[in-house]
Structure 1
Amino acid sequence: MNKFFHSVTLFVLLLGLLFHGGMVKSLKSHDGSEEWGYVQVRPKAHMFWWLYKSPYRVEDPSKPWPIILWLQGGPGASGVGIGNFEEVGPLDTFLNPRNNTWLKKADLLFVDNPVGTGYSFVEDSKLFVKTDEEAAADLTTLLIEIFNRDDRLQKSPLFIVAESYGGKFAVTLGLSALKAIEDKKLKLVIGVMDHLYKLFSPEDYVFSWGPLLKDVSHIDDNGLRKSKIIAKRIKRQLQNGKFVDATNSWSELESVISARLLAADFYNFLVDAGSDSVTSSIMELGLFREISMKRYSNYLNSVSSRSTLDGDLGELLDGPIRIKLKIIPQNVSWGGQSSEVFAFLEGDFMKPRINEVNELLAKGVNVTVYNGQVDLICSTKGTEAWLRKLRWEGLHNFLRKDRTPLFCGSDIKTKGFFKSYKNLNFYWILGAGHFVPSDQPCVALDMVGTITQSPAA
């Protein structure tokens, strides 16, 4: 850590207060390569963001340099922490350079969303969001405050990239941002509104778990029968509008399956749960103790397995990173409010967002879905099921298309498959679990370069 602390002393920090309907408090590095701060998205509701400007930027008028907005899942998981230091940011949790950082293809904007997540905070618990639409409204306010004051940012196409529950935030944000652009409230260029990662129809995932695990011998006929009983109950609850009950049944089904999976991880069914990995180090944070019965809220417990190579994320964010940032309030601990974020959204958790995907496709927005082969919580089988429910006019032709194999660098092994028709794209990533950029960093970086059409790709 000493090297990092030494580098911090070299920062010349500029503090600015700008008013555009909300308050922006931001700091910059001396060379302008990083900027971070808070946006008051509503009175007493503060959202933290961190923007990295790529050192690999290529100026090409025909292909403007893109910006990726990363949305973490959970709901209640920190993009500033997990997406940044565990998956795609410039540094890993030991503050060493990441070879496959997505900065090679785009600028990166990380946000702790919704308010109450990570470094974001509310001054009154009544201000937590209760729906994906409310979260999208806050994110749209944040984009307005950041982009409208920076002419350079406005020239770069924005690509909304999401993981897990972040996919639900992405589609609602996509529609909200488009409307703000149409109303001339938001000044930016929308690129490919994705990667929309998975969680659009929870019903389709719960029905996929049992058959998938039976196919790979993780459960037997008895386990399959029990999983189907609970999945059918979830379907009835959703049909009757009992969304909180459906969320509780989702947790029950996870518990039933987990008991039969024994050591297998819900986020990668080929690895051991709780092994010596980031999974175990994140587990020690205890961010979801208050609702430990809701296993999906333990999203932070299963960040991809990078074994002994990872440092402690909680100590990093509440230690040297907090010191570097300088503007985190003393009473805000990183990630400390994540359980509350999940609890307030439990009534919206199980609601599908397939209609929103239909709307984006109908508007001509490029939608890309990517899935890890050995993910269970958001299985490929479930993703393919909800894709077939789309009412998009091009669906039939998309389904008829053949897949193209994907390779990476000089490696002759197939790393995945790709299919595309008009503005719908799908990536199947082999050997990856829930955390695709961490499990398969090379092919994930290539995928990002293709989708963003980065001049560096």
Structure 2
Amino acid sequence: MEKLFHSVILFVLFLGLLFHGGIATYMKSQDGSEEWGYVQVRPKAHMFWWLYRSPYRVENPSKPWPIILWLQGGPGASGVGVGNFEEFGPLDTLLKPRNSTWLKKADLLFVDNPVGTGYSFVEEDGLFVKTDVQAATDLTTLLIKIFNRDKKLQKSPLFIMAESYGGKYAVTLALSVFKAIKEKRLNLILGGVALGNSWISPEDYVFSWGPLLKDVSRIDENGLQKSNSIALKIKQQLKDGKFNEATTSWGELENVISSSSNDVDFYNFLLDSGSVSATLSAMEPELFREISKKRYSNYLSSKRVRSSTPGLTGDLAELLDGPIKKKLRIVPKNVTWGEQSNNVFAALSTDFMKPRINEVDELLANGVNVTVYSGQVDLICATKGTEAWIRKLKWKELQTFLGKERTPLYCGSDRETKAFYRSYKNLHFYWILKAGHFVPTDQPCVALDMVGAITGSPAAEK
């Protein structure tokens, strides 16, 4: 483990270095524990990936060691940055070992998706993806490039796991991967999909905000009436196919929720956001995206322990543009981590409010394992909304699933209830208690156990 953890700050001897159009596309650490690179998924559109091979790997012929592909939300949030350093990668934002890293259960593949996110970039503005399906096509191209050349990777089942808007990417990608495998264009084993606090049905989420906050005394009747009124407007806009207008109304609703609740944190409704003004009514609609990004980053920032090491502050952007960019060696000098993320969101504004319930149904019908997990105190993708879209599934086994009793879950010797679990055939649901939007950060122990169960990791009992 020491070698893996210290590799971020030590000079690394590289075994592989390829170039495409002047851009270095592939590198590998001396001990083979890490690989990273760029794939040109379309001309002038470059996607960055980073693979960690687990030092905890258990060889079991009857139970192959799994790989987790992690997809962050946003749109425009970086998996290489947020998921990796702020949630469950081997190192935290202070480059210190993380005891709850998911490497204990699987290899980890982080991707800055779509192009324009994190270290990924486009050379022309017209190349940002405009739909979730386009994002899935790019990701499938990346997976073909990575997996088809590596027979060792092909032996490990791939689990597509996601958070927030990443869940919409995950289900569209899983269908694309399923098709590519069937057509023999992609050599991998699809283990399943896991949707963490995922934006699968925006309509159900915006209708959940007002009633949920009223029930926990965070807004009053006036706030509830205002929020329900905008939610109804969004419902009609979606019905009429006015998706851009619905995205603007989503921003308007967030504004009303913030004002009515004295700035509740959208990622944990028990907290105040603490940094965003409650007087937003004069702002232009496009600024709502900036406000949402600030809420996203500030919630995670509140979880950090400050560093006593000179030069390390725990700031994610400083880390990714400093020590990590230096370590990776292949990020072009003119690329700043996350500089194109606003463009990513803007390009997807039409798709942002579109549901992906039908894609979940299709996966279930094709026998793909689908896991849904939800943090109890999340607001943006509240459990109330998640349960609502699950009830809309047309899956033939749904009623049997809904009738199953839940099983309480614990962690280690601690007998405090940490979660509840329900499962039937290939649909599985975890209710994670005392967790907000970022389950791996808020409940690392139960999240790690859950990952072991989802992937069937040989290390699940360790």
- Whether TM-score is above 0.5 comes out as yes
Which residue of 1 is the match for residue 287 of structure 2?
A: 292
TM-score by length of 1: 0.93
Distance 2:215 2:253 in 1: 18
**Which amino acid in 2 is paired with 1:102?**
W
2:325 alignment partner, one of 319, 322, 325: 322
How do residues 132-281 of structure 1 correspond to structure 2 at under 5 angstroms?
A: 132-195=132-195, 197-274=197-274
Distance 1:377 1:199 in 2: 8
2:316 alignment partner, one of 313, 316, 322: 313
State the secondary structure of the residue aligned to 2:193: coil
**Which amino acid in 1 is paired with 2:15?**
L
Q: Contact 2:34–2:53 (CA<8 Å) still a contact in 1? A: yes
State the secondary structure of the residue aligned to 1:195: strand
**Which amino acid in 2 is paired with 1:87?**
E
State the secondary structure of the residue aligned to 2:416: strand
**Which amino acid in 1 is paired with 2:18?**
L
In the TM superposition, what is the alpha-carbon distance from 1:6 to its structure 2 partner? 8.4
Q: String of CA shifts for 1:244-299, please: whole Å, max 9, x gaps.
A: 00000001000000112214211101122137xxx9xxxxxxxxx99432344543
Q: Contact 2:376–2:382 (CA<8 Å) still a contact in 1? A: yes
1:446 alignment partner, one of 436, 439, 449: 449
In the TM superposition, what is the alpha-carbon distance from 1:9 to its structure 2 partner? 4.0
Distance 2:332 2:63 in 1: 40
RMSD: 2.0
Change (3 A) 1:290 1:260: closer
In the TM superposition, what is the alpha-carbon distance from 1:18 to its structure 2 partner? 8.2
State the secondary structure of the residue aligned to 2:35: strand
Q: String of CA shifts for 1:390-440, please: whole Å, max 9, x gaps.
A: 000010001101110010011111001000011000000000000000000
Q: String of CA shifts for 1:141-160, please: whole Å, max 9, x gaps.
A: 00000000000000000000
Which residue of 2 is the match for residue 13 of structure 1?
A: 14
In the TM superposition, what is the alpha-carbon distance from 1:11 to its structure 2 partner? 1.3
**Which amino acid in 1 is paired with 2:220?**
D
Q: Residue 400 in 1 paired to residue 403 in 2? A: yes
Q: Contact 2:197–2:437 (CA<8 Å) still a contact in 1? A: no
**Which amino acid in 2 is paired with 1:147?**
F
Distance 1:15 1:104 in 2: 26
Q: String of CA shifts for 1:1-27, please: whole Å, max 9, x gaps.
A: xx98886444111333389xxx98111
Q: Residue 380 in 1 paired to residue 383 in 2? A: yes
Distance 1:93 1:338 in 2: 20
**Which amino acid in 1 is paired with 2:356?**
R
Q: Residue 82 in 1 paired to residue 85 in 2? A: no
2:424 alignment partner, one of 421, 424, 428: 421
**Which amino acid in 2 is paired with 1:314?**
A
Q: Contact 1:5–1:320 (CA<8 Å) still a contact in 2? A: no
Q: Contact 1:24–1:39 (CA<8 Å) still a contact in 2? A: no
Distance 1:414 1:9 in 2: 42
Distance 2:292 2:130 in 1: 17
Distance 1:305 1:382 in 2: 26
State the secondary structure of the residue aligned to 1:152: helix
Distance 2:447 2:306 in 1: 20
State the secondary structure of the residue aligned to 2:195: coil
Q: String of CA shifts for 1:347-390, please: whole Å, max 9, x gaps.
A: 00000000000000000000000000000000000000000000
State the secondary structure of the residue aligned to 1:319: helix
Which residue of 1 is the match for residue 311 of structure 2?
A: none
Q: Give the total of aligned pairs.
A: 440
**Which amino acid in 2 is paired with 1:306?**
K
Q: Contact 1:93–1:313 (CA<8 Å) still a contact in 2? A: yes
Identity %: 70
State the secondary structure of the residue aligned to 1:49: strand
Distance 2:74 2:337 in 1: 15
Q: String of CA shifts for 1:74-119, please: whole Å, max 9, x gaps.
A: 0000000000000010000000000000000000000000000000
Q: Contact 2:196–2:374 (CA<8 Å) still a contact in 1? A: no
**Which amino acid in 2 is paired with 1:173?**
L
Distance 1:120 1:290 in 2: 26
In the TM superposition, what is the alpha-carbon distance from 1:303 to its structure 2 partner? 2.6
Distance 1:370 1:319 in 2: 34
State the secondary structure of the residue aligned to 1:236: helix
The runs of 5 or more residues in structure 2 that have no matched partner are 277-283, 308-313
Q: String of CA shifts for 1:107-141, please: whole Å, max 9, x gaps.
A: 00000000000000000011000000000000000
Which residue of 2 is the match for residue 343 of structure 1?
A: 346
Change (3 A) 1:4 1:373: closer
Distance 2:128 2:45 in 1: 8
Q: String of CA shifts for 1:22-77, please: whole Å, max 9, x gaps.
A: x9811111000000000000000000000000000001010000000000000000
Distance 2:365 2:198 in 1: 19
TM-score by length of 2: 0.92
Q: Contact 2:194–2:373 (CA<8 Å) still a contact in 1? A: no
Distance 2:341 2:209 in 1: 26
Which residue of 2 is the match for residue 116 of structure 1?
A: 116
**Which amino acid in 2 is paired with 1:308?**
V
